[in-house]
Every structure is written in C-alpha cells, then in structure tokens.
Amino acid sequence: MPPEGEIGARVAALNLAYRHHGATAVVERALKDPAVGNVALVSSFGAESVVLLHMVSVIAPGTPVLFVDTRMLFAETLAYQHELAERLRLTDLRTIRAAESALAMDDPDATLHRFSTDACCNLRKVVPLEGALAGFAAWITGRKRYQGATRAMLEFFEAETQTRMKINPLAHWGREDVEDYMIENRLPRHPLVARGFPSIGCAPCTSAVRPGEDPRAGRWRGDAKAECGIHFIGGKVVRDPVSEEKVA
C-alpha cells in the first residue's frame, strides 16, 4: 500500500476507535498509542493554549512542547509563556525561531508582513516549525470546529503528510467547554483576552475583536487570509476531513 494510503487508513481507524472519547482521553491514549507514534504538542501560548498545556502537563509532562517565537509576538504572550512554563512545570519546552540568516536575507528590516503576510508567516513560522517537527510522527493542535468555516469539519486525527498526522483533541469543544475547563482547573488567562483578543497571533497582524464578531476576526483584519500556514495541507486550507487524495 502506498504511504498516503497507509496513513489515510491509520487516521480513519483512529477516528473510528476514538469517536466516543473525550478530549482528555484522546490526549492520554494518543500519547501512548503505537498507531500514532511519537508526538509533540505545538502551542502558541495564546488565548486558549493553557487547556492542552495543562492536560499534557498532568498526563505526560515530558512531552515535547514546541513554541514558535516569530520575534513579532506581543510582549504579553512572551510573559504568559514564561508564566505557564514555570507553573505547569513543562520539562521539554522547545522555543523555535527562524534562522538569523533567513531573516537577514528575506526580512532584514522586519517589514515583510506589510507587503506579504503569507511570506512573513512562511518565513517566521511555517519553515521553522516544519524543521522542528522532523522526526515526529504526529503533533497536537488546539484547533476547534467552532473557530470558523475552515475548521468546521475537524476530526480528532488528520493526515498532514504521507508520514505525519495532526491530533485535534479539542475539535468538538465549544467556547463553554474551554471556559469551564479553565475555571475548574484555576488556570491563568492570557492577559490580552480581557482586552478583546480572543485569538492572538503576532502583534502587527492581530487586532481586538468587536462584540458579535467571529473570534478570529482580528487575525489579519482586512485580508482574506484565515490561517498562518501551519495548518495547510498540500498548500491549501483543509475544510473537510482529509482523504488519501489530499495527502498525496
């Protein structure tokens, strides 16, 4: 069977096996399931990141946590990252950054985002993360169906490439589930949430959200862009469950 068919079959089998599981059970079992392989948690340390960070810290604190520092993050995000790393005792936190040589060549004056947000995201986030994920069979994301049309059909498991999958334990959660988990576990909030930022990315490309707007309306406001690029498959945003053909 070709690689894309093999991983497609594994993803389908995992989604079938885990279809009645809750988020915590998905995290706990996926971290130990040989059908998944070695796993990393990728975290932006954004508005809702603390939920998965807390789950992993309780279930398997030695799980690698990859944090992409684009060098354009809010100061509040960096402070929050330090706070959570200490509070949750994350033992394998890896900060990922673009190579200095790449920045010097492609964005020497840090203005690339003004001309091409896609190119900036690719340089500062997509390429560095891809390098950091080399060797991992899967990575955990915090994406949820309620976060917009591009995520409306998320499943627990997706085939990202011919050799790697993504795990979305919170796919079926709503805002109230996230809120309840934070309250029940007394988890600290990202300081920008109280200032109207329900979704937080890089400072130049993130604005506050007005009442009634989509939670991600403040990301790349005025641009058709909806994703930074790390959740693209085959160069395209995934809007439905991934099939074997989409991985090829």
Strand partners, 49: none
Residue 224 token pair: 């058709």
Cβ atoms 145, 154 nearer than 8 A: yes
d(CA 157, CA 169): 8
Active site residue 121: no
168 C-beta neighbours (distance < 10 Å), count: 23
| 55 CB burial (10 A radius; 0-12, 13-18, 19+) | buried
The residue type of 133 is L
Cβ atoms 142, 55 nearer than 8 A: no
Helical segments of the chain, H only: 3-17, 23-30, 50-59, 75-87, 100-106, 112-115, 117-121, 127-133, 175-184, 244-247
Cβ atoms 27, 56 nearer than 8 A: yes
Residues catalogued as catalytic:
228
